[in-house]
């Protein structure tokens, strides 16, 4: 049953195919009968190129007050050098992750027929506010032959523990409750030891969850050769970034991968976005695959407490039988709507 409450959602369509896939996702939300009150935000590469605006504190505070944020994709076209690397990543995406304390990046994967992970369901729980992403470090003697660059990885007991506890909670909800810590404890001995100890300690609260550990390099082999071994994978920010692209590739392509940037403590609006980018090469032609954006909207409804509506969307995407490779956005959308 729907709570019949209208949820306030900030919509950032963004660049390239972002607005079209977001529009398709909103149509699916409407089709499952969930009422949204949306407000659009013009943010991303196009906005930056127009007037230099990325994201200020006032806009961030405004975003914080919504029930959720739905984002399409942001970024310039490949080869467009007008925006230096990091301006949008640090200034917009990471600013929202840090500023809204979106400490979990939850990325579920469902292997589509014919993919290496055919029939497998697993999820990556990526720590989303620490690790090498915090920007710790600096540069000395820039541009000289004596240049020194350092880039540290920050792992706090608090940050690791809240991430690991979320991952265990997700794992405990599975039919076969399993959690795998992925790290590189044999080399990253300080941070790896913290992660391993926290997993051991928090694991005691979840006696029904089977716990495993993989080094990240070995995990890359297992993702390809035996993805069925996984339930929930918990890992740090950078390993999670890399592994989620690999997970997307083995489960049918990044065009299917959804993500939820979550603030489970609900002190700021959580943000939902497809993992794929802006794909400017196919933008505006009606060719974009909207399934990842639609799944992301499904994850958003789950977070908003619209559990039945969310399940309908997520199942329809998982059961989608159409051919997405030679299809159009509208054809995929109408086939999906039929399967709801």
Catalytically annotated residues: 133, 184, 217, 241, 245
The partner in contact with residue 161, picked from Mn ion, ligand IPM, none with C-beta cut-offs of 5 to 8 angstroms by kind, is none
Q: Smallest distance from the beta carbon of 113 to ligand IPM, in angstroms?
A: 25
Looking at beta carbons, which pairs linking 54-59 to residues 24 or more positions away fall under 8 Å? 54/87, 54/88, 54/91, 54/92, 54/95, 55/91, 55/92, 55/95, 55/96
The partner in contact with residue 43, picked from Mn ion, ligand IPM, none with C-beta cut-offs of 5 to 8 angstroms by kind, is none
Does 121 sit near ligand IPM (CB under 6 A)?
Answer: no
For residues 262 to 281, the per-residue mask of contacts with ligand IPM, x marking binding by CB under 6 A and - elsewhere, is: -------------x------
Strand runs (DSSP E) across 184-277, as ranges?
Answer: 210-215, 232-235, 258-262, 270-274
Inter-CA distances, 233 with 6, 116, 183, 319, Å = 34, 18, 10, 23
Does 241 sit near ligand IPM (CB under 6 A)?
Answer: yes
* 69-77, 233-241, 297-305, 323-331 -> range binding Mn ion (CB under 5 A): 233-241
Does 99 sit near ligand IPM (CB under 6 A)?
Answer: no
Task: Let me know if 112 is exposed, middle or buried by CB neighbors in 10 A (0-12, 13-18, 19+).
Answer: buried
Query: Residue 156 in contact with residue 130, Cβ under 8 Å?
Result: yes
Near ligand IPM by CB under 6 A: residue from 59, 83, 89, 327: 89
- How many Å apart are CA 262 and CA 278, to the nearest integer? 22
Q: Smallest distance from the beta carbon of 14 to Mn ion, in angstroms?
A: 15
Near Mn ion by CB under 5 A: residue from 20, 101, 127, 241: 241
Task: Let me know if 92 is exposed, middle or buried by CB neighbors in 10 A (0-12, 13-18, 19+).
Answer: buried
Q: Smallest distance from the beta carbon of 320 to ligand IPM, in angstroms?
A: 23
- Residue ranges binding ligand IPM (CB under 6 A): 89, 93, 241, 275
- Residue ranges binding Mn ion (CB under 5 A): 241
């Amino acid at each position: 049953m729907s709570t019949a409450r209208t949820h306030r959602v900030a919509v950032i369509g963004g660049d390239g195919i972002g607005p079209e896939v977001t529009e398709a996702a909103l149509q699916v939300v409407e089709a499952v009968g969930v009422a949204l009150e949306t407000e659009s935000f013009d943010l991303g590469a196009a906005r930056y190129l127009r007037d230099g605006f990325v994201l200020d504190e006032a806009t961030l505070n405004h975003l914080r007050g919504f029930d959720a944020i739905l984002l399409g994709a942001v970024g310039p076209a490949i080869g467009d050098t007008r925006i230096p690397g990091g301006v949008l990543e640090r200034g917009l995406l990471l600013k929202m992750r840090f500023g809204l304390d979106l400490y979990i990046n939850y990325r579920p994967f469902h292997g589509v027929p014919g993919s290496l992970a055919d029939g497998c369901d697993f999820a990556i729980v990526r720590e989303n506010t620490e690790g090498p992403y915090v920007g710790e470090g600096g540069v000395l003697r820039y541009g000289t032959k004596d240049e020194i660059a350092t880039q540290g990885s920050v792992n706090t007991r608090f940050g690791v523990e809240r991430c690991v506890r979320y991952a265990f909670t997700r794992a405990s909800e599975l039919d076969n409750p399993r959690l795998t810590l992925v790290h590189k404890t044999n080399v990253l001995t300080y941070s790896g030891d913290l992660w391993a100890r926290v997993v051991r300690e928090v694991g005691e609260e979840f006696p029904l969850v089977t716990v495993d550990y993989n080094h990240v390099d070995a995990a890359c082999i297992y993702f390809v050769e035996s993805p069925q071994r996984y339930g929930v994978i918990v890992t740090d920010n950078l390993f999670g970034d890399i592994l989620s692209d690999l997970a997307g590739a083995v489960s049918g392509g990044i065009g299917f991968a959804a993500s939820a940037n979550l603030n489970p403590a609900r002190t700021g609006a959580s943000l939902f976005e497809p993992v794929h980018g802006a794909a400017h090469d196919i933008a505006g032609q009606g060719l974009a695959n909207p399934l990842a954006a639609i799944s992301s909207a499904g994850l958003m409804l789950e977070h908003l407490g619209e559990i039945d509506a969310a399940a309908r969307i997520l199942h329809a995407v998982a059961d989608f039988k159409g051919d997405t490779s030679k299809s159009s956005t509208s054809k995929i959308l109408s086939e999906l709507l039929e399967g709801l």
